[in-house]
Structure 1
């Protein structure tokens, strides 16, 4: 069986499932609730969900990523190559908390950036490396002899060292539960009703979409560069979310689904928390040895 790499599930669902600190105050949520229900669009950056405490936090994911970079660098150096890990996106350039879980909600950002992430770095074309370098880094992806292990190069070796003895499927499990709750929430009648109300509001502003997740996927709306049309759709999107209370309704429905999961899957979630703690301790040790 091929090794499950840290964050495989997290990265697969990042467009839908962004992490959130369990320390966020409920007072902020109540303020957001009252403003949204009054029809005032606000940036919903204080939403927390019942499964949040069980998943890998942003800071812990960052530690694991940096530890992988250290291990990969050590492996590449042993093979005579200089390795530089890809630059990670800064926290300010990524959605905070659950800001975009239910689509965009930050009116100020929408007026300036539309659906684009404000401050996100423009991807730079990476210099083409030699085939020997690429093979050392990523391997061939083929099985090694009769061992059944795949040749994943230094990247694979780094994962093996970081994840040895840790149940990575358990670590990723909360994200899969969150993916499931998100999908099920969209089939709930309260959410589908809110979608229809939001869609009607958007139609009244001259924009025809059936779901708040649709506009960013439209080539007419979102291209490589921010346009005035994109900004107008994004602003209308948020105004209609505020008018219909869509975000609050959606969050409440998904929260109820996740609470049921926390109860029914308590044993599995505690194991996820335990295995995540092991991973973070391992990453801390690797980073400390590199610094010291």
Structure 2
């Protein structure tokens, strides 16, 4: 799974997989202030403040290690609950398929060399922005009654202020909310675990991008690419340049594929050679470890909530 597709804050770094929630999680949207927190539901009880965060907590914030596998289980379980709920309303709901995480290291999962060999960055088949909205599998999806069953009363929402992201609003009822609450114990815990780590990760990403070790790795990557005839300062510059070129030139998508694949593969090879992605992740994890005690305590609570959700997901999928 290419975890760098969704646009992230502008930094001279890799696309951070912090904001990557599949379609099932996207019912909660960024919005302005004005909604209220839901009644009932609370975060998991706070564990003792750790001197050092454990690996699971760091994985949650940085979308690395064991987190992708647990996240995939959670998505499958929430989809199962949502589909069962929709059937009680007389609808067939088919979620977008969530690909299981790749085997291998975090670097290998992030770069996904095999996907690059097949599809490059995936921009060649689009107008350059990478957007490909899959069609709904349910012909009734546009009916008001269907949307009411899936997303609930639009007037009933909760909100969560997320530093670095803004105010998140989310539905409090409907089948999607039932899926969230069933797996996470309550809707508030789902919202906190789904979004607060993203804000923390973005802060850690900015810290990592400013570190001299990252700058050295980035410069080494740029020299490696230049040595193969590609002059870019950062990996993000490649996607920006390709998108601009595709929008301006038009032409047949298939004609663009071969060159894009070659560029994407060389990008990954240079990245691996100089350890750009690996260094960025190391620095992000270091930044999270160095957070203030209250922030580490919050991360520990979020990690406990996610661990409990994974356990519920396993039980639901086994039933």
Query: Does residue 1:125 correspond to 2:135, yes or no?
Result: yes
Aligned counterpart for 2:72 among listed residues 62, 69, 86 = 62
Aligned counterpart for 1:135 among listed residues 123, 139, 148 = 148
Aligned counterpart for 2:84 among listed residues 63, 74, 84 = 74
Query: Does residue 1:51 correspond to 2:58, yes or no?
Result: yes
Change in 2 beyond 3 A, CA 1:139/1:100: same
Structure with the largest fraction of strand? 2
Aligned counterpart for 1:163 among listed residues 142, 160, 184 = 184
For 1:4, the equivalent position in structure 2 comes to none
Give 1:104-253 correspondences, 5 Å limit: 104=111, 106=113, 110-116=116-122, 125-127=135-137, 128-129=139-140, 130-131=142-143, 132-143=145-156, 150=171, 152-165=173-186, 167-168=189-190, 171-172=193-194, 173-217=196-240, 218-219=242-243, 220=245, 227-241=257-271, 244-247=274-277, 249-253=279-283
**Quick check: 1:137–1:153 contact (8 Å CA) kept in 2?**
yes
Structure 1 or 2, whichever has the larger Rg, is: 1
Query: Does residue 1:97 correspond to 2:106, yes or no?
Result: yes
- The TM-score with structure 1 as length reference comes to 0.62
Deviations 1:134-187 (A, max 9, x none): 33222352238xxxx956522123323333347335534444433322222112
Whole-angstrom distance in 1 between the partners of 2:281 and 2:56: 8
Listed as ranges, the gaps of 5+ residues in structure 2 are 1-5, 9-14, 20-54, 124-131, 158-169
**RMSD of equivalent CA atoms:** 4.2
**Quick check: 1:137–1:154 contact (8 Å CA) kept in 2?**
yes
Change in 2 beyond 3 A, CA 1:126/1:187: same
Change in 2 beyond 3 A, CA 1:111/1:67: closer
**Quick check: 2:57–2:299 contact (8 Å CA) kept in 1?**
no
Whole-angstrom distance in 2 between the partners of 1:76 and 1:242: 45
**Quick check: 2:107–2:278 contact (8 Å CA) kept in 1?**
no
- The TM-score with structure 2 as length reference comes to 0.57
